[in-house]
């Protein structure tokens, strides 16, 4: 059994390095790493928490069977990055080298399928299918939030992809607020059970604020991230989900020891929008005003470009030219979610493979047309920045 110390209205685990804030004692107690998993055998009912998480993840998939939940008027501002056309490439198109290194691992192309799903039988098939394609292509793959398997360890199998993709760079996933209320050794066990190479910690305050049952207490997340960076022994990739990472947040994360960021900016999927769609009925006008809230992906890249991170550009990456523009702005990889899950629903693994190889081909085309032999050349290729991005950079990125 766990011991708990009580301090005012917060609960603390006495074994934690800095007495991490616990908001839900029952959850911690049920998940305490000192206890063995003792969930019911398969066939018994899931816990209330696991059932809620599972049905929410299922509801989140629904719009992506169709057109997804794109931003309404906002764009990524990647269209403000004009790579200057070079009409004399003097190279063979087949010799363009798109390989790179991220988190110490070789990637055949600078692409990452960012975290989406888990916790349901359908999610298990999606994770395995997409991971298999990512593994074949030599790119990265992220699991969706593993909260469901924290709530009920029997759901671990819905995140297990290693038999389908033994060599894929695999990132586990947890929300910042869950990280703050979960003992680190339980997070480690969560990653080990799926054979993850890294942990993505998602920050999604805008989504939580719109979700009726969402978290409202965002305290303790920075500390928990710092603990994870120091104690996990694996790269910790801090990501948004579509509202972007600012320079101020990136500087704080850098001070906490974080070396990997996924900026996940505005211009692609709107998670405020997805929550409103999920709620149904008349849209709440207060929440709807935040549909496009956040930092456009290109602006977020510019904000963090000189801070020394290995950065994933995501949020609205839809083709190889978007990937090329992101690399030119300093990203190491580009990440994509909605196009991949939509491809899955259209045509399973083949459609996912077509979507991702299409992006890689589009990237190679941009490289030929800018005279870039490899990604380092592309990063240095001449470009002109215009429009909103130029204005943003003038105000936010000090020369």
Cα-based distances in Å from 94 to 112, 348, 371, 373, 377: 22, 28, 13, 10, 16
The least distance separating ligand FMN from the CB of residue 201, rounded to whole angstroms, comes to: 8
- Per CB under 6 A, 117 contacts ligand FMN: yes
Q: Which of 109, 180, 337, 393 binds ligand FMN (CB under 6 A)?
A: 337
- Per CB under 6 A, 126 contacts ligand FMN: no
The least distance separating ligand FMN from the CB of residue 242, rounded to whole angstroms, comes to: 5
The interface with ligand FMN within residues 135-154 (CB under 6 A) comprises 144-145
Q: From the DSSP assignment, how many helices (H) and strands (E) are in the chain?
A: 16, 15
Q: What is the DSSP string of 150-165?
A: HH-GGGGGGG--TTT-
Of the candidate spans 11-19, 104-112, 281-289, 308-316, the one that interacts with ligand FMN by CB under 6 A turns out to be 308-316
SS percent in the chain: helix, strand, coil, step 5: 45, 15, 40
- How many chain residues are in contact with ligand FMN, going by CB under 6 A? 26
- Per CB under 6 A, 177 contacts ligand FMN: no
Q: List, in sequence order, every residue forming a beta bridge with 81; answer none if it has no partner.
A: 385
The least distance separating ligand FMN from the CB of residue 72, rounded to whole angstroms, comes to: 13
When CB distances to ligand FMN are compared, the closest residue is 268
**Closer residue to ligand FMN, CB minimum distance, 127 or 186:** 127
Q: Are 227 and 201 in contact (CB under 8 A)?
A: no
Q: Where are the alpha helices (DSSP H) in 280-333?
A: 285-288, 297-304, 320-328
Nearest CA among 372, 323, 290, 291 for reference residue 93: 372
The least distance separating ligand FMN from the CB of residue 204, rounded to whole angstroms, comes to: 7
The interface with ligand FMN within residues 186-205 (CB under 6 A) comprises 200, 202
Q: List, in sequence order, every residue forming a beta bridge with 174; answer none if it has no partner.
A: 201
Residues that bind ligand FMN in the complex, under the rule CB under 6 A: 60-61, 64, 114-117, 144-145, 173, 200, 202, 239, 241-242, 264, 268-269, 314-317, 336-338, 341
């Amino acid at each position: 059994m766990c011991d708990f110390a009580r301090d005012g209205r917060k609960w603390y685990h006495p074994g934690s390095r800095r007495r991490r804030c616990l908001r839900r004692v029952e959850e911690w107690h049920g998940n305490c790493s000192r206890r063995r998993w003792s969930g019911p055998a398969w066939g018994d009912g899931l816990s209330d928490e696991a059932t809620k998480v599972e049905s929410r993840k299922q509801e989140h998939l629904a719009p992506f069977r169709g057109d997804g939940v794109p931003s309404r008027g906002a764009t990524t501002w990647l269209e403000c990055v004009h790579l200057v056309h070079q009409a004399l490439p003097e190279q063979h198109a087949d010799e363009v080298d798109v390989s790179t290194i991220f988190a110490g691992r070789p990637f055949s192309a600078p692409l990452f399928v960012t975290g989406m799903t888990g916790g349901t039988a359908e999610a298990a098939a999606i994770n395995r299918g997409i991971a298999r394609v990512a593994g074949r292509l030599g790119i990265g793959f992220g699991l969706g939030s593993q909260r469901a398997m924290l709530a009920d360890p029997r759901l671990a199998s819905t995140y297990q992809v290693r038999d389908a993709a033994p060599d894929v760079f695999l990132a586990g996933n947890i929300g910042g607020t869950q990280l703050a209320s979960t003992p680190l050794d339980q997070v480690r066990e969560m990653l080990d059970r799926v054979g993850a190479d890294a942990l993505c910690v998602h920050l999604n305050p805008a989504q939580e604020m719109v979700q009726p049952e969402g978290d409202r207490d965002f305290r303790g997340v920075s500390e928990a991230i710092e603990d994870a960076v120091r104690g996990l022994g694996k790269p910790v990739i801090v990501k948004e989900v579509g509202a972007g990472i600012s320079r101020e947040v990136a500087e704080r994360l850098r001070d906490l020891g974080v070396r990997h960021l996924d900026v996940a900016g505005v211009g692609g999927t709107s998670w405020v929008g997805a929550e409103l769609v999920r709620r149904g009925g008349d849209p709440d006008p207060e929440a709807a005003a935040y549909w496009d809230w956040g930092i456009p992906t290109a602006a977020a890249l510019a904000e963090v470009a000189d801070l020394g991170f290995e950065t994933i550009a995501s949020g609205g990456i839809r083709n190889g030219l978007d990937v090329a523009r992101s690399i030119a702005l300093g990203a190491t990889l580009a990440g994509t979610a909605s196009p991949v899950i939509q491809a899955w629903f259209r045509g399973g693994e083949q459609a996912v493979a077509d979507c991702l190889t299409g992006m890689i081909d589009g990237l190679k085309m941009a490289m030929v047309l800018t005279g870039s032999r490899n990604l380092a050349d592309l990063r240095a290729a001449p470009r002109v920045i215009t429009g909103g991005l130029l204005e943003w950079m003038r105000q936010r990125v000090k020369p």
